[in-house]
Amino acid sequence: MQSKKRSPIAAIVLAVVIGLLVIALLNGVIRPTQVVVAKVAIAPGTLLTDQLVELRTIPMGAKPADAIAKIEEVNGKMLAVGRAPGDLIVTSVLGEIAGAGIPAELPEGHVALAIHVNLASGVAGLLRPGQTVTVIGMISPDILKTSNASVFTAPISEFTSPIVSLTPGVAATPTPTPTPAPPSSPLARLVITGVRVLMVPQSFRYEEIPAGASEEELFSSARTSVSAQEGSVIVLDVPTGLVEVTPGFKVDPATLLAALDQYGIIHLALEPTSGLELDVADVITLNLGELYNEMNEYRKK
């Protein structure tokens, strides 16, 4: 018995239908679309221009919801978060958005705090956003005598409540009981570790001058160095809860750093990428007067 031949038309129609379905599916996922990306590395605080950004084609499925499709929409707007070449420029990284930039990077219970630095206290301009630093505070007795800074010398037990920042709706801290006279010599102590760097001005950053640099580049670098030597400010990510800076003495880190920046001296030490683990009980306050006496006694031996 002769077998019945199947018509090739049905197979062709089925293949065409499957092909059309695949094309429709892929078209919805990989349909090309244009988005605005950074053409070069762009630092936070930069006003965007068409020389700094460009259009790039990506699949529709990879396009973020807040992506920007036209360069005209970003011209003249400030970038709140640094971008590397090829990074998407999205609305959430523009400074006009209240939740963009540094506020979006802060964990709950943290604030952004600016402090003054110079080449010595700011690790010679080597600081970069994302690094962590250890804060070393120094206090002179002359400052304590001329300022209402008993917060630095009074033990926590002499207060009726913990030391807190004054904020709207929060009762003022009770007046402490009389405290002993300040020390006769300057003191230095490692006070906080693991403080994250949020922002470093471009003018303060250390940069090597390449060999064969033009006169304009040399002049620009020299001008930046002078600005950095005179001092700058950097922004740190500071927790607001109480921390123990010396055994038995707790303080709000943001309040402490603000007071040290105004009335004392702050030095920053750059931490390794793995972080720094220290027990506050093992950190000794350095009394420069006692150090001098010890060294002087050793010299006499």
Q: Which amino acid is at 244?
A: E
Q: What is the pLDDT of residue 97?
A: 58
Q: What is the pLDDT of residue 258?
A: 93
Query: Which of the two residues, 154 and 138, has the higher pLDDT score?
Result: 138
Does a structural domain hold residue 96?
yes
Q: What is the pLDDT of residue 291?
A: 84
The answer to whether residues 264 and 181 belong to one domain is yes
Confidence tier at 159 by pLDDT (50, 70, 90): very low
- pLDDT per residue as tens digits for the range 106-144: 889 999 999 999 988 999 888 988 899 999 999 887 766
Counting the structural domains of the chain, the total is 2
Which of 83, 84, 129, 128 has the alpha carbon at shortest distance from 105?
Answer: 129
Of 104, 138, 156, which one is at a domain's C-terminal end? 104
In this structure, of 89-93, 127-131, 146-150, the range with the lowest mean pLDDT score is 146-150
Give residue 161's domain range: 106-300
Does a structural domain hold residue 92?
yes
- pLDDT per residue as tens digits for the range 234-268: 999 999 888 887 778 888 999 999 999 998 999 99
The answer to whether residues 149 and 54 belong to one domain is no
Confidence tier at 161 by pLDDT (50, 70, 90): very low
Of 46, 77, 104, which one is at a domain's C-terminal end? 104
Q: What is the pLDDT of residue 82?
A: 79
Count Cβ atoms below 10 Å from residue 129 Cβ, excluding itself: 18
Of 104, 123, 138, which one is at a domain's C-terminal end? 104
The answer to whether residues 95 and 160 belong to one domain is no
